[in-house]
Each structure stands twice: as C-alpha cells, then as structure tokens.
C-alpha cells in the first residue's frame, strides 16, 4: 500500500494475534485526546479520518490480544505484507458500542435506545421538568437519544418548556456544547438528537416560516457539534439504508439529528426531517393504554411505517393549570409502574406489545425521569430485552458509569489514529 493511501482513513482493525506498529511520530494524548477517558487496558477500537502525514504501518505477530471494532469489510484480515486474507480466524469484539459489544455490527436501525423526553428540562420543583439529571448524566447512564423543544427568542434559540417564563433551560448552544464535550470523551458512542421547533407556525414579514432548519446551524456550529454529525446519502432513509454503529464510529460521524417541523434539507442536509425517517406512537397521553398505532405523521400507511424507524412514546401525564395555561406534566406518582419492566401500563408491556404488532421492537423508547422505576435502570432493562442482550449495567446517579466501561489504552489509540490503515481487498 502506498504511504499516501495509508494516511487517509481507517477502515477496520482486525486480528486477535496481530498488532500495528509504526515508525512515524505518534500524537500525544494531551494534544489529541484532551478530556477523553482512557484506561490502561487493551486497545479497543478505531478513530477515523486523520491527517497524519507520511504514516507507514507494518503488522507484527504478538501474543498480546487486540479487540476488534467491527466495521468496513468484516470478513477481511490484514496479513503481514498488507494484503487481505480470509484465512485467519475472525476475532471477537469486546469494545462496547453504545454500551454493548453486540451493537457494533448492528445497523443503527436495528437497535432499541432509551430517549430522554425533554432532556434539558431538569429544574427542581418546577412543573415543567421532565428529567432529574442533566444531559451529561443522562448520557453517562445510557441514554442515547435526547429531545427537547426549542424557542426562538430575540434571535436566539433557547430550550424552553411551553413558555420560557415557565422553564428556560438556557440556550441551545450551551446545551449542545455540553453534549459535544461528552462525545469527545466517548469515541465509541452514537447518539440521536431531535430538535422540536416550537415556532413552526410563526411567519416573518414576508409570510415565510420564521424558524426553520437554518436557524439551528449557528448553535450547532458554535457548540462544536457539527464535526460529529452524520449526513446520510438521502434525506428519507429506510431501515436498510442506515449504516452500522461501527461504520458511524469509524467515520467519526456519530450524531444523527432530526427536526420535527419546518425542515430545509436543501439548505441544511444533515438536519433531517424526523417524519421522513421516523414515525411515533401517540404522545402526551393521560391514560396508560399506550397504543402502538401511528400518531405522527398523518397519512402514513402501515406498509411505509414498516420501512422506517419508530418511537414508542411512553410518558404518562396529568393536566394542570398554571397562570392561565393548561399544561400536561409528568405523572410522577406512578413512575414505578410507567417505567417498569412488567405489568399493565409499563414500558416493558408496551414494548412487547409494539414488537408483536410490528414484527420488531421500537427503535426509541421516550420516557420521563428515566432514572425512576421499580428498580434502578428499569427502562434500560426494557431496552436490553428488546435488543436481546443481557442488562449488565447499573443506574442511575451522579457518578460516571462510563468510567467502568472498557476504554482503549491511550498509547494504542494514538497509534491507530496516526497510522490510518486502509484495508485492501
């Protein structure tokens, strides 16, 4: 392989009996991975798209095991002269992707994740709150989709619940900056963000929509999130179109973004219209029937729905009146049932029923107070059952659970980033 080819992109690292070596200078952890959390264990994974100049690589035999992040061509291994061979036994992956090694080789569309409904709204003793912990703790605990309602106020987007006078959680930029910081420290995780556009009915002086996808570009870019956002090959993706988690991780594009209304994919192709790609069950119910029928968008048929991602809305509400406003707020009294694994009205019961109805589990389970339930982590146990994996984590609190996960050794990860080895087939 030519040296210039080797410096462009990493496709996959493969082999339990081979390791990479290089005569090029390695990037330092302090300059290239500042803020990241690594332990001193086995090298496990790949970071993509590096500009390391004149990197060369060789393969040497060793008894020291290397774990594999499955991606690129999963049946190809690297031989000593940098040609492909399929004679070596396939190694097993031990690096978690979104908390489970099994997810690395799965399509994004073939995984059930917990979604924090109104993720930024965590104000204590405020009727507009939907979560107890902030977004960093949500992500540490295992949430992989976040959602919230954005309000356009004096030219700036804020996350507010119904009214910024009721609950103002700060600017969208500040929230996304926190998410970006977390992403930088967790290179093997893929997350999804849904932006709710509160002002979708507002018009400017010319009668055009006041707030569209274009208004979200500024906070996304200023927060640093843009570098992580995946732009699909088309704006309306089917289940088969989505890449695997490992492919997203290898590419470095580990964030999927949607907007619910006033999309403009011509101007902002990476901010997808939610309802071209995702349908939802009825939302904001005050009864615990939690139907698995199509709530949004209008007019979608069952045949089309079976080709798309779908979200099970499972947040039970009560209606109250505050300052002349009728509001639906979380029914916290019955969270032990609503967020439970079993029983009438439970998240587990709804997930099983939707799975039976549609022949596959929901992709996203939208919940309030994800940390509440009959047991710690009950909503994540429901997701694990839907994913057919063993729930083996703990939840939920103020300590970073991510610190307990397998992380790559800093020197080995730096080695992989510097080499940028592309397989030849």
Q: Is 301 helix (H, G, I), strand (E, B) or coil?
A: coil
- Strands (E) across 83-184 are located at 84-85, 113-116, 145-153, 156-161, 163-171
Count helices and strands (H / E) in the chain. 12, 16
Dihedral sign for Cα 352, 354, 355, 356, please. Answer: positive
- Pairing between strand 325-330 and 317-322? antiparallel
Measured between alpha carbons, how far is 128 from 121 in angstroms, rounded to an integer?
Answer: 7
Buried b (16+ CB within 10 A) or exposed e, 113-134: bbbbbbbbbbbeeeebbbbebb
Measured between alpha carbons, how far is 142 from 418 in angstroms, rounded to an integer?
Answer: 30
Contact by Cβ (8 Å): 359, 325: no
* Paired residues of 74 in beta bridges: none
Catalytic: which of 151, 161, 186, 314? 161
Residue whose tokens read 């060789």: 58
Buried b (16+ CB within 10 A) or exposed e, 28-64: eeeebbeeeebeeebbbbbbbebebeebbbebeeeee
- Closest C-alpha among 249, 245, 266, 265 to residue 257: 265
Q: What backbone torsions phi and psi does residue 8 show, to the nearest 5 degrees?
A: -95, -55
Contact by Cβ (8 Å): 361, 354: yes
Catalytic: which of 117, 151, 186, 314? 117
Contact by Cβ (8 Å): 58, 83: no
- Closest C-alpha among 167, 196, 212 to residue 260: 196
Measured between alpha carbons, how far is 338 from 366 in angstroms, rounded to an integer?
Answer: 11
Buried b (16+ CB within 10 A) or exposed e, 403-422: eebebbbbebbbbbbbbbbb
Active site residue 314: no
Measured between alpha carbons, how far is 150 from 220 in angstroms, rounded to an integer?
Answer: 13
Catalytic residue set: 117, 161
């Amino acid at each position: 392989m030519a040296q210039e080819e080797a410096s462009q992109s990493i496709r996959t690292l493969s082999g339990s009996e081979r390791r990479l070596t290089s005569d090029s200078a390695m990037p330092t952890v302090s300059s290239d991975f500042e803020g990241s959390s690594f332990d001193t264990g086995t090298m496990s994974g790949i970071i993509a798209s590096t500009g390391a100049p004149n990197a060369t690589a060789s393969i040497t035999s060793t008894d020291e095991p290397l774990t594999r992040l499955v991606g690129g061509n999963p049946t190809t291994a690297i031989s000593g002269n940098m040609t492909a061979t399929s004679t070596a036994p396939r190694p097993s992956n031990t690096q978690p992707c979104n908390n489970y090694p099994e997810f690395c080789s799965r399509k994004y569309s073939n995984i059930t994740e917990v979604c924090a409904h109104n993720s930024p709204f965590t104000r204590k003793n405020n009727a507009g709150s939907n979560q107890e912990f902030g977004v960093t703790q949500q992500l540490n605990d295992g949430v992989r989709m976040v959602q919230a309602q954005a309000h356009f106020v004096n030219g700036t987007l804020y996350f507010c619940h119904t009214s910024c006078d009721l609950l103002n959680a700060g600017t969208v930029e500040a929230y996304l900056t926190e998410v970006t910081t977390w992403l930088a420290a967790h290179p093997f995780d893929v997350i999804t963000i849904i932006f709710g556009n509160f002002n979708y009915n507002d018009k400017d002086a010319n009668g055009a929509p006041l707030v569209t996808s274009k208004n979200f570009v500024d906070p996304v870019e200023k927060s640093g999130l843009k570098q992580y956002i995946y732009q699909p090959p088309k704006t309306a993706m089917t289940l088969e179109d989505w890449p695997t988690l490992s492919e997203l991780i290898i590419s470095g594009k580990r964030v999927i973004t949607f907007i619910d209304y006033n999309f403009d994919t011509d101007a902002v192709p990476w901010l997808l219209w939610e309802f071209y790609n995702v349908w939802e069950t009825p939302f904001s119910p005050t009864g615990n029937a939690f139907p698995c029928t199509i709530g949004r968008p209008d007019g979608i048929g069952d045949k089309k729905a079976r080709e798309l991602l779908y979200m099970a809305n499972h947040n039970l509400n009560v209606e109250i009146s505050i300052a002349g406003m009728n509001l639906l707020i979380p029914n916290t009294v019955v969270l032990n049932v609503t967020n439970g694994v079993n029983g009438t009205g439970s998240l587990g019961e709804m997930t099983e029923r939707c799975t039976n109805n549609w022949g596959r589990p929901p992709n996203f389970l939208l919940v309030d107070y994800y940390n509440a339930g009959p047991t710690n982590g009950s909503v994540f146990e429901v997701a694990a059952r839907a994913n057919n994996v063993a729930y083996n984590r703990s939840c939920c609190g103020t300590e970073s659970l991510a610190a307990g996960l397998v992380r790559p050794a800093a020197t080995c990860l730096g080695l992989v980033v510097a080499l940028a080895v592309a397989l030849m087939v």
